């Protein structure tokens, strides 16, 4: 069934999302994507009033910066996400990634149906797989030697840590994974990697030439960094504010890279397809629940 979508802001993932929805026959209108290249039939708009008749609105991942402005890689506009929500009609459906509490609250107040697709398992798993693939590629670009000769440490055994360790192991890297829970340590061992208890990190961290952080908490502090090999590479994959003290890393001469939004940089078309499937799943579930009543 043909639907109408309003896609606001974002990076290449949003561009490919728009194209994928349009290709399936849906009506697609965009806002704050005026510099993007779209086929004829996808409407570009710069007037925020277009949202007054919007049905299904899709915000990017993340939907906003720290000041609450819409993420816009293809526009010069600085529009607060809250201003978009203020223009939405009652009963419309708002979907976005990492939606802040104020947007959730405002949407509820205006009787807008709101969904954070970043929290959905089917999106999280496939997005984590893309992130892990891109993270491995990032390390190989930064290395001057074969990855098979590099002792690698991954901090955290969540979705990304688990998928990344499998990719690196397949590339013949020497992979150690640090975790706190004994159940995770057991899984790490059973998956063929070397487990490391977080409490032993100080004793072991100096042995690694590459460290990936997936923990969204301050784990690579100045004290931890001082124990590392000064020629080591850090790639931090955790969401803001990440888990690495980048200022301290710079002072110590350690190469540390903040690697956020990797799916949008390495595989934006696939990331856009994943977004498309996720938002259509959300709407399909809404319709099923409505029919069940």
Tokens 């109408």 belong to residue: 4
pLDDT digits (tens, 9 = 90+) for 27-54: 999 999 999 999 999 999 989 999 999 9
Q: What percentage of residues in the chain have a pLDDT greater than 90?
A: 94
pLDDT for position 291 = 63
Tokens 């001082």 belong to residue: 226
CATH for the stretch 126-260: 3.40.50.720
How much is the pTM? Answer: 0.89
By mean pLDDT, which of 28-37, 150-159, 226-235, 282-291 is the weakest?
282-291
pLDDT digits (tens, 9 = 90+) for 243-278: 999 999 999 999 999 998 899 999 999 999 999 999
Residue closest to 84 by CA, chosen among 112, 61, 62, 119:
112
Q: Measured between alpha carbons, how far is 180 from 62 in angstroms, rounded to an integer? A: 28
Reported residue count of the chain is 293
Show me where the domains of the chain are located. Answer: 4-119+268-292, 126-260
Answer whether 4-119+268-292 and 126-260 agree in fold.
yes
The mean pLDDT of 165-185, rounded to a whole number, is 97
CATH for the stretch 4-119+268-292: 3.40.50.720
């Amino acid at each position: 069934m043909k639907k109408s979508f309003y896609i606001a802001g974002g990076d290449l993932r949003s561009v490919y999302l728009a194209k994928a929805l349009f290709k399936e026959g849906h009506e697609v209108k965009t806002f704050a994507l005026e510099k993007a290249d779209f086929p004829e039939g996808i409407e570009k708009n710069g007037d925020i009033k277009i949202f007054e008749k919007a049905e299904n609105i899709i915000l990017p991942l993340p939907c906003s910066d720290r000041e609450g402005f819409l993420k816009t890689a293809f526009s010069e506009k600085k529009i607060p996400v809250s201003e978009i929500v203020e223009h939405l009609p009652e009963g419309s459906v708002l979907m976005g990634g990492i939606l802040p509490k104020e947007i959730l609250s405002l949407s509820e107040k205006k009787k807008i149906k709101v969904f954070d697709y970043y929290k959905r398992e089917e999106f999280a798993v496939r997005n984590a797989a893309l992130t892990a693939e891109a993270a491995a590629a990032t390390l190989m670009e930064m290395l001057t030697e074969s990855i098979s000769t590099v002792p690698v440490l991954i901090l955290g055994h969540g979705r990304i840590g688990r998928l990344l360790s499998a990719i690196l192991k397949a590339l013949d890297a020497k992979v150690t994974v640090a975790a706190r829970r004994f159940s995770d340590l057991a899984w790490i061992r059973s998956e063929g990697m070397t487990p490391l208890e977080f409490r032993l990190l100080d004793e072991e961290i100096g042995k690694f030439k590459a460290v990936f952080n997936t923990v969204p908490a301050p784990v690579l502090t100045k004290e931890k960094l001082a124990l590392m090999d000064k020629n080591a590479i850090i790639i931090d994959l955790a969401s803001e504010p990440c888990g690495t003290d980048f200022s301290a890393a710079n002072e110590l001469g350690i190469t540390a890279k903040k690697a956020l939004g990797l799916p949008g940089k390495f595989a934006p078309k696939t990331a856009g397809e994943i977004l498309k499937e996720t938002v259509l799943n959300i709407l399909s579930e809404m319709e099923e629940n409505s029919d069940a009543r």
